Structure 1
Amino acid sequence: MPIATCVFDAYGTLFDVAAAARRLAADPAHPRFAEAWPRIAEIWRLKQLQYSWLRATAGVHTDFWQVTVDALDYALEAVGGVASDERQLLLDLYFELDAYPEVPSMLAALKEAGLETAILSNGSPAMLNGAVRSAGLEAVLDEVLSVESVGVFKPARVVYDLVGHTFGRTPREVLFVSSNGWDAAAAAGYGFRTVWVNRNGDPLDRLPWTPQKIAEDLRVIPELAATW
């Protein structure tokens, strides 16, 4: 059965989650932040994921923006030495995350091949729409799907259900792409064909399922979608 719909996680997959901290660090007006930003970005992302999992497990949902704010506050306290205005600057920049360089041409190639394209993300609608607009991706995405419509974070199966409900496709007609190994693995367990974009050369997560394919970046996605 050929691939009909290509679905992408947003943060870390299409958009560089470290871009906000990196951009602020490049501003000469923030020299102390320039020294601390890699550690802040690392903790911020880790806590963002952990808080989403814990809330999903406990059944205490909030939107991903609150999770992002909470994770940043933890990171800033853990590292210390950050000026008071830098917190708000980082939050503002999170609505303008850079897309990875290959993203626009990759999505355009999928659309030219007649495939449906979508984001399926933990992000809140406002966050996702801001990132999509900032990166200029509106014309190459058919849908931007947020977990807010079901009130629980990935990897809950009801989140992956959103793809079938939206496009009317069976799981085998869907190619799901994520930079999060656990997300790609859970999507494979759901029945999607999956690609893990492993930019950092990380080991596979020890989970009941594994992604069918692993790629270094997104450039190979149009070819995979056409030949799978």
Structure 2
Amino acid sequence: MPITTCVFDAYGTLFDVNAAAAEAAKDPAYPGLAAVWPALASDWRRKQLEYTWLRAVADRHCDFWQVTQDGLDWALEAQGLEDPALRARLLALYRHLPTYPEVPAMLASLKARGLATAILSNGSPDMLGAAVASAGIAKQLDAVLSVESVGIFKPHARVYDLVGTHFGCAADQVLFVSANGWDAAGAAGYGFRTIWVNRAGAPLDRLYAQPHHTLPDLAPVPELV
């Protein structure tokens, strides 16, 4: 069936999750961050994702803002930067992450082609609302769907169910796009057509399904559809 609905992961896919640490590192108030911000950003993201998986397996759900804070606390301690002011600054920046440069034009192109567009994210509704508003992309999205409505993180099938429930479409009418290889694989196993946005050139995850396409960024998505 033809694709009718294009759905995007948010953090790391539309929004640059490294931008908070990069921006804070420019501030002379935090001199210890300048040399280590790439490692801190990497640890923060890794722990944030690990905590979602562990909470899902243990059936101990909390919202994504909590795991975002928990991941940051681990990353700050790992770098010897247990500074309350820096922590507050990083969290404030995370709520207003910029999109990658190609995102606005890519979404506009999809809308011009008559496709429905949406976010499907682990993010909590208030986090996603703040990010979408700050980035100015609300008018280019038909829906912002959060796992909080089902109480478990991706890649659980109940999360991917949200798309069909909201749009009334079949799984094979959905193109799902994620910068997380495991998320693209999980969505492919669910039945979506999928794109993995592999900005870092990482190896393919060895999982039960594989993404249908791999791209270096989001710019080619409209032509691929």
Give the TM interval when normalised to the shorter protein. Answer: over 0.9
Q: What CA RMSD, in Å, does the superposition of the two structures yield over aligned residues?
A: 0.8
> Is 1:28 matched up with 2:33?
no
Match of 1:202 in 2: 202
Partner-residue secondary structure (3-state), 1:144: strand
Match of 1:186 in 2: 186
**Mean Cα displacement is larger for which, 29-38 or 86-95?**
29-38
1:97-108 aligned within 5 A? 97-108=97-108
Deviation at 1:120, TM superposition (A): 0.1
**Mean Cα displacement is larger for which, 164-173 or 72-81?**
72-81
Normalised to the residue count of structure 1, the TM-score between the two structures is 0.97
Q: C-alpha separation between the residues in 1 aligned to 2:112 and 2:26?
A: 36
Q: C-alpha separation between the residues in 1 aligned to 2:208 and 2:214?
A: 17
Match of 1:121 in 2: 121
Q: C-alpha separation between the residues in 2 aligned to 1:38 and 1:212?
A: 30
Deviation at 1:82, TM superposition (A): 4.8
Partner-residue secondary structure (3-state), 2:196: strand
Per-residue Cα deviation, 1:35-65 (whole angstroms, up to 9, x for no partner): 1211111100000000000000000000000
> Is 1:223 matched up with 2:223?
yes
Q: C-alpha separation between the residues in 1 aligned to 2:72 and 2:31?
A: 19
Match of 2:63 in 1: 63
**Mean Cα displacement is larger for which, 44-53 or 74-83?**
74-83
Per-residue Cα deviation, 1:144-203 (whole angstroms, up to 9, x for no partner): 000000000000000000000000000110000000000000100000000000000000
In structure 1, the gaps of 5 or more residues are none
> Is 1:80 matched up with 2:80?
yes
Partner-residue secondary structure (3-state), 1:145: strand
Q: C-alpha separation between the residues in 2 aligned to 1:199 and 1:36?
A: 21
Q: C-alpha separation between the residues in 2 aligned to 1:79 and 1:86?
A: 12
Match of 1:89 in 2: 89
State the aligned residue count: 225
Deviation at 1:224, TM superposition (A): 1.1
Normalised to the residue count of structure 2, the TM-score between the two structures is 0.98
Deviation at 1:30, TM superposition (A): 2.2
**Identical positions, percent:** 64
In structure 2, the gaps of 5 or more residues are none
